[in-house]
Every structure is written in structure tokens, then in C-alpha cells.
Amino acid sequence: MRGLLRLLDAKMSFAQNGWPARGRIQMAQKATIHSPLSEIPPLSGAVALVTGGTRGIGRAIALRLAKLGAAVSICGRDKSALSATAAELQKSGQPVFSQIADVSRSADVNSLVDKTQSTLGPVSILVNNAGIGLFGPAHEKTEADWDRVLDTNLKSVFLVSRAVAPSMIQHGSGDIINISSLAGRNAFAGGGIYCASKWGLQGLSACMAEDLREHGIRVSVICPGSVATDFSTRGSKDPSKVLSPDDVAHAVEMILTQRPQSFLSEIHLRPLRKP
């Protein structure tokens, strides 16, 4: 009974905080003092939007955030993948929202963010993950190739971040995590268009971090090396020597559980053994 009262007391303290993302560290600290609270997941009350949360890295991140206690919204263009992952997320017991959306289109993005916020509450965690790969010499590609990759990998981050920023600013906190790539730091033959999108994302992320830090919003970027997903058929790398989607999800968890006065601005994530 006493344990239950402590739990209720903690939940009230948390609710009084008004903004989940800010409350999470205090909760974690309390949890170490009163053992029953250790059962409260660290992201309880947070609302996370994961773009491209239907497959691969985004799916692993969405499942991880739900496991950590966040309500989760996901989007993608493929209906069956969206439904399958939404059903998987629902097993966590956390509130879930899913919507078909093409993140390169502002109308889709605005509808996604509006409906996520009216269903789950204000977005406190945004993971800009949706992305596509396209490889081969840039001079052999079409203008449509350029537009498709740049719109999906870079313009989308501008559109979705712009849609959630006002509410984060209003609440004075939030986390925006952009999934870039080591291709956003390196150059290689055949990488022209993809690298352009990810180098652009590095610049956008770093500037957004400067614009938003005064509002209590942390903008971070994760640069993974090769990850075992459907994303790329480029090269035939030994699957035991590439990252798993869960490795990236773990980096997201690290960012979100960082103490509130600091932030991990950029993580370079590499497999231990060289592919």
C-alpha cells in the first residue's frame, strides 16, 4: 500500500511538471530513492514522432521509445508496413498513432503533426529518420533523382521540424534527433547525391541546434555506418560486421536519457569490426 502511495505521489509530481520531457530526469532520480518507482519508464508522458517508423532503423527506434514509456506516432508511405508496425507498437501498452504520410510533402507533414498532437498531445521528441538511398555517379543521375533524394532526406527534416518547433518552443523543451549517416561526414565514389543530402542535413542540424538551444530544445544528429536493413543493396557486406537497427535505437535512448543541462550534439556510430 505504501509503495502504491509513493507511486501515485510520483505520478502527481510528474504531471505537475506539465511537460514530460523535462520531468523524466527528476523521475529517474526519484526512482532510485523509492524502489517502487523504478518501474516507471523514463519517457512516461513523452510524445514521440518517428518519421519512417515503419521499417528498419525507424521501426527499432519507435519500439524502443514505446518500451521506454513514450506515446509514439509513426508514418510511412506503405500501408501494410505501417499497419504491421503500429500493431507491434500497440503491444507495448502505450498510446500509438500512425498515418500514411510522405514527409517530402508539406501538406502530408502538417496533417501528420496536427493529428499526432490532437491524438497524443504535443510532440516532445521528434526523430527525423525517414530516408532513401541512391548510389552511383551523380553525373549519370537525373534531376528527378536529385529532387527525390534531397526532398526525402533533407527537405523533410526542415518541414517536420518546422511543424513541431512552435509547440516545443512554447513548452520550453523538446528533443529533435536527426538520423544522418557517416556519409554526411565522408565522401566516396557513387555517393554524390546521397552524401549531398546528408552533408546538408549535418549543416541544418548544427544550425537548428544553435537556433533552438536557447528555447531549451536539444537538436542532435546520429551518423551511423552501415546498418542491416532493406535500405541499401550497395556492396555485399558481412552482416555480422554491420550495425543493427537496435544499435541506432540505443544511441537515441542515450540522447534522450542525457542529463537535462547538456546534450549529445553528434554521435558517430560504427560497427566494432570493420565491414
Q: Which residues form the catalytic set?
A: 194
In terms of Cβ atoms closer than 10 Å to its own Cβ (0-12, 13-18, 19+), residue 162 is middle
Tally helices (H) and strands (E) across the chain: 9, 7
Interface contacts to ligand NAP, rule CB under 6 A = 51-52, 54-58, 75-78, 81, 101-104, 129-132, 152-153, 179, 181, 224, 226-227, 229-232
Least Å from the CB of residue 56 to ligand NAP: 2
CB closer to ligand NAP, 40 vs 157: 157
CB closer to ligand NAP, 79 vs 213: 79
* Distance between first and last Cα of the chain: 54
Least Å from the CB of residue 110 to ligand NAP: 14
Cβ–Cβ contacts within 10 Å for residue 144, how many?
8
CB closer to ligand NAP, 143 vs 214: 143
Name 214's Cβ contacts closer than 8 Å, sequence gap at least 6: none
Is residue 247 a contact partner of residue 268, using CB atoms and an 8 Å limit?
Answer: no
CA-to-CA distance for 127 and 123, rounded, in angstroms? 10
Q: Give the containing element (helix H, strand E) for 176.
A: strand 174-179
Express the helix, strand and coil content of the chain in percent, nearest 5 each: 55, 15, 30
Least Å from the CB of residue 49 to ligand NAP: 12
Least Å from the CB of residue 34 to ligand NAP: 39
